[in-house]
Structure 1
Amino acid sequence: MMVPAVLLLLGLLTAVLAPRLLARADWPEREPVVALWVWQCVVAAVLLCLGLSMVLSAAAAWQAVRGRLFASAPHGVVEAYALNPGGPWAAVTALLLAGGAVWTATVLTGEVLRARARRRARHSELLLKAPLLPGEDPDGVRLVLLEGDRPDAWWLPGAAPQLVVTTAALRRLKGRQLDAVLAHEQGHAAARHDWLLHCSRALSGAFPQVPVFAAFRDGMHHLVELAADDVASRRFGRLTVALALVGLNEDRGVFGPGGTPEADVPQRVRRLLAAAPRLTAGRRLGLTATAALVPAVPLLVAFVPGLSALT
């Protein structure tokens, strides 16, 4: 039972330490794409620790599972893991982790189904407000112009993606600001940020008392906006994107006292105007490679005993 316990401890340490290290770091604001990758690697490592611990705990608790898991393993591999039944703890651990896995899959499936239902409803609503023109491809990307008094623009993903802009946004945004807003939304679509948001919401909803998943959700919501801002600013400049953000949000009270759903907009505007330099290519590569090693650690912990028995 040593390896399952080590995996559980490793998962706990990763879940506790990684969010704190990321919160204290000063580079995620400068490199949101790298930070998104790091967060995904951290969560993948935590889930790998729990999943591998579940499998090995089940193998320790039940001979049938152990026989199937090590059916093709050479002699001595099973002994290297020391999966001797250790009372009820192995079975309890395996059952608890299996229940958590089933619950996570259920919540994630529900999140995806609800998101699809919302997209279909919004697509239908848009079709009523802005019907297809003669000869327009119903499965192609559409730019939809809606009559509205509130400046707004958003990307609606799906089988037939739609980029929606209100007439108030056309009146408010000047020069290339509208192009910058469209580039921002296209950045979301190209990187499939909607899937990151679905996964983070599902994990935090399934385990609301687990801080790492709540931090993952909050980090995704913030970082995807910064990443899309950077996509737009590389094409149209930081000042243009900042002015577009102000134009879209100045009537929503986000620049005054009090919290709103768009409370991070002032921070995004300040970040764009500050124009902090990017990290060097070498440091970006180093952070990316280091993050990729994080999920590899539980795999090494799980497979090293077996590999050692073969040498």
Structure 2
Amino acid sequence: MMVPCVLLLLGALAAVVAPRLLARADWPEREPVVALWVWQCVVAGVLLSFALSMTLSASAAWQAVRGRVFAPAPNGVVEAYALGVGGPWAAGTALLLACGAVWTAAMLTQEIRRTRARRKRRRTELLVRSPLLPGEQPGPERLVVLEGTRPDAWWLPGAAPRLVITTGALQRLKGRQLDAVLAHEQGHAAARHDWLLHCSAALATGFPQVPVFAAFRDEMHRLVELAADDVASRRFGRLTIALALVELNEDRGVFGPCPTPQAQVPQRVHRLLTATPRLTAGRRLRLTAAAALVPVVPLLVAFIPGLSALG
């Protein structure tokens, strides 16, 4: 019963410590793509630790589960895990973690339903504001221009993705600024940032008291914008995308003294204008490899007793 406890402690430790360590780091703004990878690995490691702990705890509590989990394994492997000494704690731990797994699945399902309903509603509104011409067939991907004085541009993902921009944005954006904004939105689409936002929102909604999930949601909203900014800046320059952000948001009060929902826009503009150098390729590789080890650790903890018995 020692292995399930170690896995449970590993998951809890990562859920508490990882957000604090990442909050103190100064490199995520310089390398948002690497930071996105690190956050995904941390969350995957936490979920994997709990899932493996649940499986082994259930195996210790009930012979029927143990028989299915360890069906192809020799007797020596089962004995190496000492599953018969779990006591009443094994059943309680397994049930608690199973409830967490069911709740996670329910939150993900709810988020998917909400997303589909929201996309359907926005597509209906888009069709009303920009109807198809007689004989026109919707293509797999197209640009939609809407009449509107407010400058705005966004990507509407889905089976038939749409890149939407208002006439107000076309009037405000100058030179290559429009191309930079379009590249920014295409960067979101190419990296499927919408999936990261939905998964992080589901976990944070389902487990609001777990620090790693709340921080995961907040950081995803910030980092995906920084990553898309970098996509645009590599093609059209940092100054171009920074000026485009100012043109799109200066009438919304985001640069004033009062905080607004788009309060991160001034920080993004400042980041683009200061042009902090990227990390070296070697350090990026080390961070990527170190993050990949996070979900590997619970796998090693779970399988080492069995592999040792076989050896």
Q: TM-score, normalised by structure 2?
A: 0.98
Aligned equivalent of 1:109: 109
Alignment of structure 1 residues 33-48 onto 2, 5 Å: 33-48=33-48
Amino acid at match of 2:185: E
* 1:257-285: CA deviation from partner (whole Å, max 9, x where unpaired): 12211010000000000001111111111
Secondary structure of the corresponding residue to residue 271 of structure 1: helix
When structure 1 is superposed on structure 2, of 106-115 and 134-143 the one drifting more is 134-143
Distance 2:163 2:133 in 1: 16
Distance 1:180 1:139 in 2: 23
Distance 1:30 1:284 in 2: 11
Aligned equivalent of 1:238: 238
Aligned equivalent of 2:276: 276
Distance 1:139 1:85 in 2: 62
Contact kept in structure 2, 1:139 and 1:159, CA below 8 Å: no
Contact kept in structure 2, 1:169 and 1:248, CA below 8 Å: yes
Amino acid at match of 2:77: V
Q: Is 1:132 aligned to residue 132 of structure 2?
A: yes
Displacement after TM superposition at 1:117 (Å) = 1.2
Amino acid at match of 1:121: R
Displacement after TM superposition at 1:94 (Å) = 0.3
Distance 1:135 1:226 in 2: 40
Amino acid at match of 1:296: V
Aligned equivalent of 1:224: 224
Q: Which aligned segments of 4 or more residues in structure 1 are displaced greater than 3 angstroms?
A: 133-137
Distance 1:294 1:2 in 2: 20
Aligned length: 311
Aligned equivalent of 2:264: 264
Amino acid at match of 1:217: R
Secondary structure of the corresponding residue to residue 148 of structure 1: coil
Aligned equivalent of 2:55: 55
Amino acid at match of 2:88: P
* 1:222-273: CA deviation from partner (whole Å, max 9, x where unpaired): 0000000000000100000000000000011111112211010000000000
Amino acid at match of 1:202: A
Amino acid at match of 2:158: G
Secondary structure of the corresponding residue to residue 83 of structure 2: coil
Contact kept in structure 2, 1:61 and 1:85, CA below 8 Å: no
Displacement after TM superposition at 1:132 (Å) = 2.0
Amino acid at match of 1:164: V
Aligned equivalent of 2:200: 200
RMSD: 1.0
* 1:81-126: CA deviation from partner (whole Å, max 9, x where unpaired): 0111433211010001000000000110110111011111111211
Aligned equivalent of 1:9: 9
**Identical aligned residues as a percent:** 81
Amino acid at match of 2:218: D
Distance 1:166 1:152 in 2: 6
Distance 2:147 2:57 in 1: 59
Aligned equivalent of 2:286: 286
Displacement after TM superposition at 1:134 (Å) = 4.9
Distance 1:35 1:215 in 2: 13
Displacement after TM superposition at 1:193 (Å) = 0.2
Structure 2 residue runs without a partner (length 5+): none
Displacement after TM superposition at 1:75 (Å) = 2.3
Distance 2:99 2:132 in 1: 47
Q: Is 1:299 aligned to residue 299 of structure 2?
A: yes
Amino acid at match of 2:125: E
Secondary structure of the corresponding residue to residue 261 of structure 1: coil
